[in-house]
Amino acid sequence: TETIKAVVIDGYPARAMWVQEFTNFFIPEVDKRLAETGNYKMDWQESYGGSIVKPKGVLEGVKLGLGDIGIVTTIFHSSKLPSQALAAVTPFIAPDSRAVAKAVDEIAKEFPTMQKEFEAQNQVYLATGVVLDTYQVFSKDPIESLSALEGSKVAGAGMNLRYLEGIEGAAGVRGGLTDFYNMLQTGLVDNAMLWPEAAKTFKIAEVAPYMLKADLGAVNSKTITVNKDYWDGLPDEVKSVLQDVAVAYRDHVAGIAMDRAEASRAAYVESGGTVVEMDTAERAQWAQAMPNIAVEWAAGLDAKGEPGSDMLKAYMAKLSEAGFTPVRDWSAELTQ
Amino acid sequence: MTPFEIGTLSVIAIVVLVYLGVYIPIALGLVSFVSIILMRDNFDLAVNLLKIAIGDSVMEYTFATVPLFTFMGLIVSKAGLGADIYQVMNSGFKRVKGGIGMATVGANAVFAAVTGSSIASASVFSKVSVPQMLAFDYNPRFAVGVVAGSSVLGMIIPPSAMLIIYSFVAEQSVGDMFLAGVVPGLMLAGAYVVAIFLMGRLTPDYVGGRPAEETEWMSPLEIADKTLPTLILIVAVLGGIYTGWLTPVEAGATGALLGLIIAAIRKKLTLQSAWQALLETGHITASILFLITAASIYSRMLGLAGLPNELGTLLTETQMTFFWIMVIYVAMMIFLGTILDTASIILIVVPLFLPLVEPMGLSLVWFGIITVVGAEIGLLTPPLGISCFVIKATLNDPRISLKDVFVGAFPFALVMLVVLIALIRWPSLSLAILN
Amino acid sequence: MLRLITSGVRALSSAANWVAIGANAIGTLIVLALVMVINYDVVARGFFNAPFRGAVEVVQFSMVLIVFLQLPDVVRTNRLTRSDGFLILLEASRPKLAATIRRVINTASAIFMALVAYAIWPEFLEMYETKDFFGVPGIFTAPWWPIKLAIYLSAVLCTLMFLLKVLVPDTKTGAAQPSEPSEDNA
Ligand code: NA
Ligand code: NA
């Protein structure tokens, strides 16, 4: 039996759900599968929570060989990993982590673009993870319609601030998840976009007791990657075990995300929150009002000679095959 | 070499180099660089670690609090806010034995809420309070000791550069750290007042001094004039953070701007002195952040060596108790406190102990307060005690030697140790305000 | 010949010092800009419902500039954090040995800063070629390359500063005190 050392890095702490599942699911699963033949054995060194890299530094850490395997939070890297924004630029389709994880991962494997982007960062793509089921709008005041968002301040982060662009007078205020409670409490913002599990963790029900169930959609944010030089040195058996387990991990994590989302919604109601179902027509109106950032995204990739438009079409097709009807067909507006 | 051996050797190497007089960031960086080469036999990996740590550590948004609060502290010092608070306090405490000392502690506690550093406190109060104590025949050692001791409040009561640095290393929210510092800071101030009272009773000769015969009370208008600017700043900065209206960075910027406005209104600010304050801010920011960057290279090297994992295993194997971990921790901080500045101590010691403390389910916010108070003891201990140096340099009085300052500060260092033990024993002292 | 070298070193030294002082002045202005930008955002957001969406990136960007533009001047003015009590003691009894140790320390420091420059240069080239940015497209983005360039130039200048300290040691012994702000209020 040959022993192979593997340094796993993430900048998030060990208690973060996807990190915890890496320890409790990914690693034992790899060990188990390798033990079946007994040719190889892994010697894991897990370095999380900033001990080697910060959350934003995982991509570079794997690139530079400070970690062999990493959990890259892709939303930080709009510039190096533009194609990873796929789910973020296509809201109002699927509030389901499992479906989005599977669709994005298949796109990554059927089209060369995502893998090429990681390859340029000296790493090999294994699988996509989705840890948030869907963004919702949490509000201080009773909220039912889109007009309630007009002229209000809405806390958000990253790409989701662009969802507000079509709403009259709505101002997106950037903030970290940990700030949302205070921002709502003081009235710095009237609403916040976050997902139910985060709402539960940060006791959002206390300050924003109304959840507008807008189902903006699940977003991919985590990718498991392996340093290219390290990968090239791995035996084929280990490579294929890592690839298979990564896919299993993808589904495992997405499943947990969905279970937690359900439980979190229940907890939100229990602690005094009211869930208001957003009217279908209102959702459609919101989706219509937004700029088509999906087309912008595709055009950006097309311009670089990547099949952006085709990826967008294929992604929408995959989700509709899985039974999700988009509120707005982003790909229908493609010109190419 | 095992990770543990590398960790131990690197700490020893750093301490020796620092004692020899090597710049602290350079010592941290070079030792880390060499350690990686020894450990992995890979020059490129060592270069890569530099590459990732150098830009990364400075890019942290919350680090903007360092220049902002530094600038605010320098500006309010120039505006004379510290001196004003002291005069108000003094008019109240004058008739008590050791009263000017108590007033100094009280004024320091208030001034601490608008400045981020102990150095600012030490230099302001050695100018306004020491001469007055000497005029009332206080023992010079007692006089400088009070100023040295109470200057550490500047870094415990928020805003505080040290709480910011800890929050970065331990990944805690700056706002939480600030709030947690309030009660321990006030407690330390209270403990100093009690200690001065007891010293006045038990060793009146050591304290010296005579009470003022005539007491002229300040008019309410005068008191308002002298306290209002500080109160406005405290409400804006700490209130802004506490209510969530402002992030710590924004509170720092608001405080800096308000400080500028106050100084301008009071005509205490020339273009030249504002420029001086900005220049000073830049120097302090650069040296602190470069130190942090180097320390982050070092802690990442330890991470790469697998030391945190190793320490975790060691902890479960040896069943080391909370008590002994704390004894070792405090001893190590006091030892390093003899030669290192507070920031360096935090940056060197915390990465070693976090992996021990975190699995025990202890609050990292509480641990930060312990760390900052423990590391600040070093400001008062020889041979390198920065608060004492600043006081000596600011006074520039041949009658008071550096030794006098250290001797005078010693009782206050002991009080800090007692308070530190209480804070360790009762974590809720630090945490109650958060819940 | 020796005189030629000495005057060459002196010219280099004064040029490098001026560059450091200039960079320092720019860094100083950025501190002021930082105060203003954040206050603008606070007011615009709080009173006019119009937050400045690039505040975070601008703050990050300025932090790098403040630190690395000021660092050479920190080195120049002997204010880099250190604890040289031992050296000062040694100077009294063995001045030559102390001077040698100072030289060795400054050489080692120059080597370290040169390593930093060596590590960052390829990063700068890569960022410059790929036009890589940080931030969120459509919200606010800023390019990486000026940051890498600032770090690189700063590291080079610091290397030079340390080397000059080796070649032209401080005439005043024990010049370095731990950094203290000069307070002039009363
Ligand atoms: Na303070
Ligand atoms: Na000390």
Could you report the per-residue pLDDT of A57-76, keeping only the tens digit for each? Answer: 899 999 999 999 999 998 88
Could you report the per-residue pLDDT of B192-218, keeping only the tens digit for each? Answer: 999 988 988 888 888 877 766 666 667
Closest residue of chain A to C48, computed from CA coordinates = A171
A27 or B91: which leads in pLDDT: A27
CA C1 to chain B, closest CA, distance in angstroms equals 33
Confidence at residue B295, expressed as pLDDT on a 0 to 100 scale: 80
CA A182 to chain B, closest CA, distance in angstroms equals 5
The answer to whether residues B48 and A66 touch, using CB atoms and an 8 Å cutoff, is: yes
Residues in chain B with CB shorter than 8 Å from the CB of C179 are 283-284, 287
Residue B149 pLDDT greater than 50, yes or no: yes
Give the confidence band of B133 by pLDDT, cuts at 50, 70, 90: confident
Confidence at residue A251, expressed as pLDDT on a 0 to 100 scale: 92
C126 within domain boundaries? yes
- B51 shares contact with chain A (CB less than 8 Å): yes
C133 within domain boundaries? yes
The pLDDT > 70 percentage for chain B reads 96
B187: CA distance to ligand 1 center in Å? 14
Query: Which-ligand-closest: CA of B387?
Result: 2
Range of the domain at C125: 2-180
CA C125 to chain B, closest CA, distance in angstroms equals 13
C186 within domain boundaries? no
Confidence at residue B57, expressed as pLDDT on a 0 to 100 scale: 74
Closest by Cα among B356, B409, B326 to B118: B409
Closest residue of chain A to B175, computed from CA coordinates = A179
Chain A contact probe: residue of C45, C48, C58, C139 with most A CBs at under 10 A: C139
Q: Picking from A175-179, A329-333, B345-349, which range would have the lowest pLDDT averaged per residue?
A: A175-179
Backbone angles phi, psi at B327, to 5 degrees: -60, -45
Bridge partner list, A192: A138, A155
Confidence at residue A316, expressed as pLDDT on a 0 to 100 scale: 92
Confidence at residue A9, expressed as pLDDT on a 0 to 100 scale: 93
Q: What's the order of all strands across the beta sheet hosting A40-47? A: A40-47, A2-9, A69-73, A222-227, A123-129
- Out of C46, C56, C133, name the one closest to residue A79 (CB): C133
Q: What is the mean pLDDT of residues B158-183?
A: 84
Closest by Cα among A244, A217, A265, A235 to A99: A217
Helix residue ranges, H only, B94-219: 99-112, 118-128, 130-135, 140-151, 153-156, 161-170, 174-202, 204-207
C185 within domain boundaries? no
Look up residue B421 and give its two tokens: 């033990």
Query: Which-ligand-closest: CA of B116?
Result: 1
Confidence at residue B384, expressed as pLDDT on a 0 to 100 scale: 67
The answer to whether residues B373 and B424 touch, using CB atoms and an 8 Å cutoff, is: no
Confidence at residue C175, expressed as pLDDT on a 0 to 100 scale: 39
Size of interface B-C (CB pairs under 8 A): 213
What type of residue sits at position C175?
A
Give the confidence band of A336 by pLDDT, cuts at 50, 70, 90: low
Closest residue of chain A to C52, computed from CA coordinates = A173
Confidence at residue B77, expressed as pLDDT on a 0 to 100 scale: 80
Give the confidence band of C172 by pLDDT, cuts at 50, 70, 90: very low
Confidence at residue C178, expressed as pLDDT on a 0 to 100 scale: 39
Residue A308 pLDDT greater than 80, yes or no: yes
Closest residue of chain A to C130, computed from CA coordinates = A80
Q: Is the ipTM of this complex over 0.85?
A: no
Confidence at residue A200, expressed as pLDDT on a 0 to 100 scale: 82
C119 within domain boundaries? yes
Residue B26 pLDDT greater than 80, yes or no: yes
The whole-chain average pLDDT of chain A stands at 89
Give the confidence band of C186 by pLDDT, cuts at 50, 70, 90: very low
d(CA A23, CA B394): 56
Confidence at residue C125, expressed as pLDDT on a 0 to 100 scale: 92
pTM of the predicted model as reported, rounded to 2 decimal places: 0.83
Residue A281 pLDDT greater than 50, yes or no: yes
Please count the structural domains in chain C: 1
d(CA C138, CA B157): 41
Residue B273, H or E segment: helix B271-305
With an 8 Å Cβ cutoff, the interface of chain A facing chain B consists of: 7, 13, 45-47, 49-54, 56-57, 60-61, 64-66, 178-179, 181-183, 185-186, 188
Residue B2 pLDDT greater than 60, yes or no: yes
The pLDDT > 70 percentage for chain A reads 99
Residue C176 pLDDT greater than 50, yes or no: no
Could you report the per-residue pLDDT of C85-126, keeping only the tens digit for each? Answer: 788 888 889 999 999 999 999 999 999 999 999 999 999 999
Confidence at residue A252, expressed as pLDDT on a 0 to 100 scale: 93
Query: Which-ligand-closest: CA of B252?
Result: 1
- Out of A51, A61, A183, name the one closest to residue B52 (CB): A61
C170 within domain boundaries? yes
C175 within domain boundaries? yes
Angle at A27 between CA A88 and CA A240, to 5 degrees: 80
